[in-house]
Amino acid sequence: MVFQPHRYTRTRDLYDDFANVLTQVDALLMLDVYPAGEAPIPGADSRSLCRTIRGRGKVDPILVPDSTQAAEMLASVLTGNDLVLVQGAGNIGKIARHLAEIKLIPQKRRRSAMADKIAVLSVEPPLNVKCR
């Protein structure tokens, strides 16, 4: 799973719920909180959330600084039977699009058995329009 928390206040308010749910995934890449104009709140950030999840001993989350790096990391480890859930309300949609681009566009060094098996599901308009 690739997850990007949305807003520091939401991360603070749902911190324990996020930790409980995200502890149950097989593997976790987490991006920094998408601030949506909010100032950082100490302890309600992605680094703290990763630390809490790691402390529970079930999954070792990886904090990645941006969606491009997350997509490239995923592309290097995905196999034919993997399913990746990309979830968040910020700019995380770039990951799914970037994965589709690097897997679907024929390139000598990136060609794989997965090349024609990636689908990108997108919700339009973005859900955050309804949350304002």
Q: Is the pTM of this model over 0.85?
A: no
Answer for the pair 48, 35: CB distance below 8 angstroms, yes or no. Answer: no
Domain housing 38: 2-129
Q: What is the pLDDT of residues 82-104, one digit of tens each?
A: 888 889 887 787 887 777 776 54
- Residue 2, number of CB atoms within 10 A of its CB: 25
- For residue 112, give the CATH number of its domain: 3.90.190.20
Q: What is the pLDDT of residues 11-70, one digit of tens each?
A: 999 999 999 999 999 999 999 999 999 999 999 999 999 999 999 999 999 999 888 888
Q: What is the DSSP code string of 31-80?
A: EPPB-TTPPP-TT-SHHHHHHHHHHTTS---EEESSHHHHHHHHHHH--T
**Could you tell me which residue, 28 or 129, shows the higher pLDDT?**
28
CA distance readout (Å), 111 to 63, 81, 102, 117 = 27, 16, 9, 12
Q: 111 is written with which tokens?
A: 């060609």
Answer for the pair 95, 70: CB distance below 8 angstroms, yes or no. Answer: yes
Q: Is the pLDDT of residue 108 over 60?
A: no
Whole-number pLDDT of residue 63: 96
**Could you tell me which residue, 73 or 6, shows the higher pLDDT?**
6
